[in-house]
Amino acid sequence: MDLNATDKAILLALQKDGRVTNIELADRVGLSPSACLRRVRSLEESGVINGYAAVLDPATIGRGTSVFVEISLSSQEESVLDAFEAAVAVHPAVMSCHLMAGDADYLVHVVCSDVAHYEQLHRTHFALLPGVARIRSSFALRTVVDRIDHELT
């Protein structure tokens, strides 16, 4: 979908405050409320906007430790990849999982309470995932940049 300047303005405003009222949003982007609502609905229906969510502070909810886990599989067969992806996706500590090019097959972002919690996750979940041949974990010392919004140019 080609986004014009008004669509981009709507998206930027919603990324900053997803709870903004339609009237406020319309005022910010220079549209009537009805025209603004039509555009937002169009962006939702086309899949540009695929949901709304509350952004939680991991430390406040007891999940202040971020671990980036590189996982290599024993095989690149489609059935092994599918089984791994299905199993890793169901664990609530997994924030994201990316199929990678390079040394590891997957990069998994995990949040947990502390190192002991991660050790327990490693033993009871990650080491038991289908097809896992190697796991390499790196602990984030602190977050420098963590964007939830996308630049629209």
Q: Is position 151 within any domain?
A: no
Q: Domain of 71? A: 65-139
pTM above 0.95, yes or no: no
Q: Is the CB of residue 22 less than 8 Å from the CB of residue 14? A: no
Q: Is position 59 within any domain?
A: no
Average pLDDT of 24-42?
Answer: 97
Encoded tokens for 128 = 């038991």
Tell whether 9 and 72 lie within a shared domain.
no
Q: Is position 75 within any domain?
A: yes
Q: Is the CB of residue 126 less than 8 Å from the CB of residue 136? A: no
Tell whether 40 and 10 lie within a shared domain.
yes
Q: Is the CB of residue 72 less than 8 Å from the CB of residue 103? A: yes
Q: Is the CB of residue 84 less than 8 Å from the CB of residue 132? A: yes
Q: Is position 149 within any domain?
A: no
pLDDT in tens, 75-124: 999 999 999 999 999 999 999 999 999 999 999 999 999 999 999 999 99
- Compute the distance between CA of residue 21 and CA of residue 36 in angstroms, rounded to an integer: 11
Average pLDDT of 15-43?
Answer: 96
Q: Over 80: is that where the pLDDT of 153 sits?
A: no
Q: Is position 23 within any domain?
A: yes
**How would residue 31 be classed by pLDDT, with cut points 50, 70 and 90?**
very high
Q: Over 80: is that where the pLDDT of 11 sits?
A: yes
